[in-house]
């Protein structure tokens, strides 16, 4: 429930390590969790867009949350995505609270009518037994959560924040003007290009996919923002954007997720396997990626 505590910091949307046959690679889950926490992150977000959440088989979802919670062991918060489910099934997110998740994260169903979003989220909030972070990502859902919907839901005892992944600077500024600094409500920026700007405007945290590769740099960016070192923020943001470009530039969202896993494979963290309908990078593409990572000093301990 919302007890007034502000969620904050770097929450990494973790990839989902899987075997070649599509099973959960639990050893790699442990290795990745340890890597993220060693980098100083405040939270681990499983089953999000970066985690191929909608493609993860239902019988693996609870296992992934449970394994992550066990490995995190109180060293960070665990957020679990329930996005992609039908409206009347979304309360199944309660199973994640049963295995120790600190909060669940949900976006509206794909192509859901904007005028019905308020009722959908209200029903979801009423049905959940723990805290919810709303998730705005029109790139995949094809619907942008209206800020007036957020205004109407503010104060619900289970609503604790919003992760906004809409690449819209004016919206971000309006979001922070209307909702920044609210007690018990946190705003997380999910677009890499807007993270430095969001923190300067007072956002409570960031959700960077590149945190899978360089969690320490993401932590340092947030730490700089906390002490008002904006030149440091810009320096670390530039590094994050360059590294993110390795797997994002010139690729669709799905292709970038496969490239991110290939990059983690090059770092020895998990296998490059992805879930259908995605396809892994070819051997030649992976060799090229490895060469680019070497140039950016991403293959050793340095970030």
Q: What is the pLDDT of residues 254-272, one digit of tens each?
A: 999 999 999 999 999 999 9
Distance CA 203, CA 196 (A): 9
Rounded (to 5) percent helix, strand, coil in the chain = 50, 10, 40
Q: How confident is the model over 142-149, as a mean pLDDT?
A: 97
pTM: 0.96
Summarised one tens digit per residue, pLDDT across range 49-97 is 999 999 999 899 999 999 999 999 999 999 999 976 555 556 778 999 9
Note whether 164 and 189 are within 8 A (CB).
yes
Q: 30 is in which domain, residue-wise?
A: 9-230
170-199: average pLDDT: 97
23 in a domain, yes or no?
yes
Q: Is residue 125 part of a domain?
A: yes
Please, which pLDDT band fits residue 274 given cuts at 50, 70 and 90? very high
Residue 6 has a pLDDT of 83
- What pLDDT sits at residue 92? 77
CATH code of residue 190: 3.20.20.70
Model pLDDT, residue 303: 43
Structural domain count, the chain: 1
Has residue 227 got a pLDDT over 80?
yes
144-159 average pLDDT score: 97
Whether 42 is covered by a domain: the verdict is yes
Antiparallel, parallel or unpaired: β 9-13 and 43-46: parallel
Share of the chain above pLDDT 70, in %: 94
Residue 13 placed within a domain = yes
Q: Determine, yes or no, domain membership for 303.
A: no
C-alpha span between 160 and 173 (Å, rounded): 20
Whether a cis peptide bond, with omega within 30° of 0, leads into 289 is no
Asked whether residue 55 is domain-assigned, the answer is: yes
- Is 276 inside a domain boundary? no
Q: Does the residue 29 lie in any domain? A: yes
- The candidate with the shortest Cα–Cα distance to 150, out of 203, 187, 194, 183, is 187
The overall average pLDDT reported for the chain is 94
């Amino acid at each position: 429930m919302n007890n007034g505590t502000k969620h904050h910091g770097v929450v990494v949307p973790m990839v989902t390590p899987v075997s070649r046959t599509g099973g959960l690679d639990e050893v790699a889950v442990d290795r990745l969790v340890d890597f993220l926490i060693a980098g100083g992150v405040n939270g681990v977000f499983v089953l999000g867009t970066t985690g191929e959440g909608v493609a993860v088989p239902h019988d693996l979802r609870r296992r992934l949350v449970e394994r992550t919670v066990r490995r995190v062991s109180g060293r960070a918060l665990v957020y679990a995505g329930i996005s992609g489910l039908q409206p009347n099934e979304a309360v199944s997110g309660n199973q994640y609270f049963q295995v120790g998740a600190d909060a669940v994260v949900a976006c509206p169903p794909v192509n859901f009518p904007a005028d019905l979003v308020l009722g959908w989220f209200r029903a979801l909030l009423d049905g959940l037994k723990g805290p919810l972070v709303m998730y705005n990502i029109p790139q995949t859902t094809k619907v942008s959560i209206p800020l007036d919907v957020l205004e109407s839901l503010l104060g619900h005892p289970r609503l604790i924040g919003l992760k906004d992944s809409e690449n819209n600077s004016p919206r971000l500024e309006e979001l922070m003007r209307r909702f920044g600094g609210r007690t018990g409500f946190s705003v997380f920026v999910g677009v890499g290009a807007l993270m430095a700007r969001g923190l300067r405007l007072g956002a409570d945290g960031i959700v960077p996919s590149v945190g899978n590769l360089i969690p320490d740099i993401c932590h340092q960016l947030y730490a700089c923002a906390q002490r008002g070192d904006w030149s440091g923020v810009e320096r670390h943001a530039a590094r994050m954007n360059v590294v993110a470009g390795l797997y994002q530039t010139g690729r669709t969202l799905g292709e970038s997720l496969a490239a991110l896993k290939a990059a983690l494979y090059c770092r020895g963290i998990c296998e490059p396997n992805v879930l259908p309908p995605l396809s892994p990078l070819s051997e030649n593409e992976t060799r090229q990626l490895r060469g680019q990572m070497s140039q950016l000093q991403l293959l050793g301990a340095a970030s």
